[in-house]
Every structure is written in structure tokens, then in C-alpha cells.
């Protein structure tokens, strides 16, 4: 049994003040594999003090030195990549062949190097000097679904900017964060620049958000939790950057390759067991093409292999915990109650699986825009097919939720697709299955959050703007 009973503060593994324990359950077996100690407000205080001390020198470091540090981190992560993947598989059931869980973490630091190399922290605006300076100590609160990517995306930008960090991963995925901290320590991250503690949202998350010594909070998680973070942070008027929920639409235009659209939507939508904020969970198809598309999706969905995440042939593993399992089951039952048709899947575990938090990959047809399964983020392998009359109707349906994180389009005509994309209310629009990258900004409209991550936009979330007037003539 693993005992995660130390926090990484000020460059050392230290005993926490908090004594509460949280049992860690392997979602594939439903068996406990260890426990993690939950921190307290006092632990946050210690971490903030260490981060503030370190900020004085780290914020003044040359960007070339920080680029070398980021490069060292990349090397250290690559060295520990198998350990990191093993941790993610054990704690959240991600298939061991889902290398994106670790690869995206490495790529975040690689992109930060490129961004930093090309970035100027000072420029002229008329006769004024405009500087961008590190904002200060940053509280990073990340979710469990992509535990390494989400945390490393924030860390890479914060380090590139010259900020120090107090980080809290989800209590459901602390193991990968501990291995990450070991890798950062081995890479030579100075004491106090990175501080890691485990804990829950109501205690540690709340303390980080409220703390006057933290200058900015970056949060990834549910919209409900994001509101609580923003409310807690409001008293100290700190910056809050949030990536929250999503209910992304994939509009299949009449001229699209339907087979390619079906293949992509099942692959992307069910990846990571559907536990992705950007997952294309609503597939919009013209009324005349619905039957053909539904049959293509049925075949694709039935080829998905659910099972042991350590089996290299497994496509998707379990959802993260019992609460999530019951939540997804509830939504599947609700879809049936509200009149949606089950194309494939449905309630219960997949055939032949008796334990573990495994979900039958489910596709609904006959879904109307107002059904619960068309409006709420389910966070599981559940896809809704919705028909539209014309393009205006498709755009109205796509924009008709409180979310606006991602959007997808399939079309053989790029110009037509672009006109549709410009009317979609979402932070990222993907055409014909275009891959994600760390250059393009990531973030949402409406209740999907505020601020952006990745690339230049992600870096600037961690920077303050200072205008210096009259300094040009004085220097001359």
C-alpha cells in the first residue's frame, strides 16, 4: 500500500500539518492501493511563504536561464515517463497505451521554451516603455482527468514567466503529481519555486484561492467548482484564470466525409473514457444524412475495446471513481427516460466485466437540443446525435448551451467551414479532425471559463503589464 504522506515545500519533502487521510482506489479493480494525507490551511501558509521568498530571485532571472531550466525539466520528465504513465494508469485507469497523458506534459515544457525564446518582455508604444513582469506567486489547482497535462501546462507558463508556484492536484490523482515533483527536483528547480501539497478543494483549494500572498489562481475543473474558486479569490482581487466545463458540438456539414467524421468523433469523443472537457459530445448532422451517419457511428463505437487499462489492446479504461461511474449511469438512464434512442451501449457495465468503474460506450440518436444529455457535461463515453434543418439551425444548436470551450466541424469546403466557425461561440474550433497543438490558445467562452492557456496567450496570463512614461527622453 502506498503512503503519500509528504509534501514538497521549499525544495524538501516535509511532513504536513494536516493529518486527514484520503483512501486511494484503483478504478479498474475497485481495490485500495494506498492513501494520501490531506493538507490544511497551515500547509498552504508554509508553501506560500516559501514561494514568496523564492520569487524575489526567480522573478529576476534571465529568460535564457529559465529556458535552460525548462530544457532540464523536459529531460527529467522523459527519464521518468514510464513511472509517470504507470501512476496515471493506477490512479485514474487511463490505458497504458494512452501516451498523450505523459506526452502532453512534455510538450507543454517544450512549447514554453519556444514561446520564451521568441517573446519580448518589453516594447515601445509611442514614446512609452511597456514592460511585462511576472505577476507573483501563483496557485495552481488542477483536475484529475488529464492530471499531468493540466498541471504541466500551467507550470510551464508560470516558470517561463518567472513566477513561483503553489500547486494542488486533485485528491484522486496525487500519485502522478508526486512523481512529477520528484522529476522537477531532479531537474534542478530551485527551492521554493515549485511547492506541492495534496488536499481537497474545500480546505486546501479554498485556502489557496483566498490567500493574500497568492497573486493569481489558475484553476481547471468543473464550472461549479470554478465559481467557488472565483468567489474565494474575489476578496483579495487576484487574477483568476479558469478552464471549466464543456459540451462541444461537432457540426457535420452536408458536404463532409461522413465516414471520417464518424471515425474521428468516436475516437476523440471516447478517448480517455470521455473524461475530457473538449470532448465532442454532441454530433450535429443534417436531417437527410442522419440514418447513414448513425449507422457509421454504431460500427465505430462497437469497435471500441473496454477493459483492463494495462492491456495494450484496450481502447478505453474505467472512469475515475465510483461517484463518476454513478453520475454517468444516471445520465444514460435519464437520456432513455427523456426519449432518446440507444444506438449502442446503454446502462450497466460492458458485457463480461463484473467489477471496476467501466461504462458501456453509449451513443444516443433522436436527441433534441433541450434534452439533459444535450445540455449537461456528462464526462463519460456518451455521445448524442442531433439533427439540424439548415446551417443556421446547426449554429443555433451548437451555441445553445451554457458552455463554449471547444467546437468541431467537418466539411470538404474550407471557406464554407470557416464562415460557420466564425459564428460558433467557443474558444477552439477544429476542422476535419485537426490535431491540437500548444501554440494555439486554449480557453472558453461563457461558462467554460476565462483566460487562456498555451503559447503566448498562456504565458501572458502569468504576467503583469507596466507602462513607463517619460523614460525614453530621460535615457536619451
Kindly state the DSSP code that residue 378 receives in the 8-state scheme.
-
CA neighbours closer than 13 Å in the CB half-sphere of residue 395: 14
427, 408 in Cβ contact below 8 A?
no
Q: Which residues is 234 bridged to in the sheet? A: none
Angle between helices 147-161 and 81-92 (to 10 degrees): 130
Quickly tell me which residue has 498562456 as its cell: 458
Which cell goes with 253? 456539414
422, 406 in Cβ contact below 8 A?
no
Q: For this structure, is 241 an active site residue?
A: no
Q: Which helix (H) or strand (E) holds 16?
A: none
Please, where in the chain does CATH 3.40.309.10 lie? 249-439
* Cβ neighbours of residue 392 closer than 8 Å, sequence gap 6 or more: none
- Whole-prediction pTM value? 0.96
User: Which CATH topology does 249-439 take?
Assistant: Aldehyde Dehydrogenase; Chain A, domain 2 (3.40.309)
Please, where in the chain does CATH 3.40.605.10 lie? 2-244+447-468
Residue among 137, 108, 397, 469 at smallest CA distance from 249: 397
Q: What is the pLDDT of residue 86?
A: 97
81, 106 in Cβ contact below 8 A?
yes
Residue among 352, 21, 70 at smallest CA distance from 183: 70
**CA separation, residue 396 to residues 110, 286, 407, 444 (Å):** 38, 13, 13, 18
Q: Which CATH class is domain 2-244+447-468?
A: alpha beta
Exposed (0-12), middle (13-18) or buried (19+): which is 2, by Cβ within 10 Å? middle
What φ, ψ does residue 117 adopt, rounded to 5°? -60, -40
**CA separation, residue 421 to residues 251, 428, 431 (Å):** 10, 9, 9
pLDDT tens digits for range 126-145: 999 999 999 999 999 999 99
Q: Indicate which residue of 138, 152, 277, 461 is catalytic.
A: 277
User: Within a 10 A sphere around the Cβ of 291, how many other Cβ atoms?
Assistant: 12
Kindly state the DSSP code that residue 434 receives in the 8-state scheme.
P
What φ, ψ does residue 332 adopt, rounded to 5°? -65, -45
- pLDDT per residue rounded down to tens, the chain (476 residues): 899 999 999 999 999 999 999 999 999 999 999 999 999 999 999 999 999 999 999 999 999 999 999 999 999 999 999 999 999 999 999 999 998 999 999 999 999 999 999 999 999 999 999 999 999 999 999 999 999 999 999 999 999 999 999 999 999 999 999 999 999 999 999 999 999 999 999 999 999 999 999 999 999 999 999 999 999 999 999 999 999 999 999 999 999 999 999 999 999 999 999 999 999 999 999 999 999 999 999 999 999 999 999 999 999 999 999 999 999 999 999 999 999 999 999 999 999 999 999 999 999 999 999 999 999 999 999 999 999 999 999 999 999 999 999 999 999 999 999 999 999 999 999 999 999 999 999 999 999 999 999 999 999 999 999 999 999 764 44
| Separation CA 384–CA 283 (nearest Å) | 6
Q: What is the pLDDT of residue 472?
A: 79
Q: For this structure, is 277 an active site residue?
A: yes
Q: Which residues is 463 bridged to in the sheet? A: 134
Q: What is the pLDDT of residue 476?
A: 45
Q: What is the pLDDT of residue 473?
A: 62
Do strands 194-196 and 164-168 pair parallel, antiparallel, or not at all (unpaired)? parallel
CA neighbours closer than 13 Å in the CB half-sphere of residue 60: 4
Q: Indicate which residue of 171, 243, 377, 461 is catalytic.
A: 243
Quickly tell me which residue has 511563504 as its cell: 49
Amino acid at each position: 500500500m502506498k503512503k503519500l504522506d509528504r509534501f514538497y515545500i521549499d525544495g524538501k519533502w516535509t511532513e504536513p500539518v494536516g493529518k486527514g487521510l484520503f483512501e486511494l482506489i484503483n478504478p479498474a479493480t475497485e481495490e485500495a492501493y494506498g492513501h494520501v494525507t490531506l493538507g490544511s490551511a497551515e500547509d498552504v501558509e508554509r508553501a506560500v511563504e516559501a514561494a514568496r521568498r523564492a520569487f524575489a530571485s526567480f522573478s529576476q532571472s534571465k529568460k535564457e536561464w529559465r529556458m535552460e531550466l525548462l530544457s532540464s525539466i523536459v529531460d527529467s520528465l522523459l527519464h521518468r515517463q514510464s513511472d509517470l504513465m504507470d501512476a496515471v494508469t493506477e490512479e485514474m485507469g487511463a490505458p497504458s497505451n494512452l501516451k498523450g497523458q505523459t506526452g502532453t506534459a512534455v510538450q507543454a515544457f517544450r512549447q514554453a521554451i519556444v514561446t520564451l525564446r521568441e517573446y519580448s518582455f518589453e516594447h515601445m508604444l509611442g514614446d512609452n516603455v511597456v514592460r511585462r513582469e511576472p505577476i507573483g506567486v501563483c496557485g495552481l489547482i488542477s483536475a484529475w482527468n488529464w492530471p499531468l497535462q493540466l498541471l504541466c501546462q500551467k507550470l510551464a507558463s508560470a516558470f517561463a514567466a518567472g513566477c513561483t508556484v503553489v500547486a494542488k492536484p486533485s485528491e484522486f490523482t496525487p500519485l502522478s503529481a508526486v512523481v512529477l515533483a520528484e522529476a522537477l527536483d531532479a531537474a534542478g528547480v530551485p527551492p521554493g519555486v515549485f511547492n506541492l501539497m495534496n488536499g481537497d478543494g474545500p480546505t486546501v483549494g479554498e485556502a489557496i484561492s483566498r490567500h493574500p500572498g497568492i497573486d493569481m489562481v489558475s484553476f481547471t475543473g468543473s464550472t461549479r467548482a470554478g465559481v467557488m474558486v472565483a468567489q474565494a479569490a474575489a476578496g483579495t482581487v487576484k487574477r483568476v484564470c479558469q478552464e471549466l466545463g464543456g459540451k462541444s458540438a461537432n457540426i457535420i456539414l452536408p458536404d463532409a466525409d461522413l465516414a471520417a467524421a464518424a471515425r474521428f468523433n468516436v475516437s476523440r469523443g471516447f478517448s480517455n473514457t470521455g473524461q475530457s472537457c473538449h470532448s465532442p459530445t454532441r454530433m450535429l448532422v443534417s436531417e437527410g444524412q442522419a440514418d447513414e451517419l448513425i449507422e457509421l457511428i454504431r460500427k465505430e463505437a462497437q469497435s471500441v475495446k473496454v477493459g483492463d487499462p494495462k492491456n495494450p489492446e484496450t481502447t478505453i479504461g474505467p472512469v475515475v471513481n465510483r461517484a463518476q461511474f454513478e453520475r454517468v449511469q444516471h445520465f444514460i438512464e435519464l437520456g432513455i427516460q427523456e426519449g432518446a434512442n440507444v444506438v449502442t451501449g446503454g446502462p450497466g457495465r460492458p458485457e463480461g466485466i463484473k467489477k471496476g468503474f467501466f461504462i458501456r460506450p453509449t451513443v444516443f440518436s433522436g436527441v433534441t437540443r433541450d434534452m439533459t444529455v444535450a445540455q449537461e457535461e456528462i464526462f463519460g463515453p456518451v455521445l448524442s446525435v442531433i439533427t439540424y434543418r439548415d446551417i443556421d439551425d446547426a449554429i443555433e444548436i451548437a451555441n445553445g448551451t451554457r458552455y463554449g470551450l471547444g467546437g468541431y466541424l467537418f466539411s470538404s469546403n474550407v471557406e464554407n467551414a470557416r464562415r460557420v466557425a466564425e459564428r460558433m461561440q467557443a474558444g477552439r474550433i477544429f476542422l476535419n479532425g485537426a490535431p491540437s497543438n500548444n501554440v494555439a490558445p486554449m480557453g472558453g467562452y461563457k461558462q467554460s471559463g476565462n483566460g487562456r492557456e498555451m503559447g503566448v496567450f498562456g504565458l501572458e496570463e502569468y504576467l503583469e503589464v507596466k507602462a513607463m512614461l517619460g523614460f525614453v527622453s530621460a535615457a536619451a
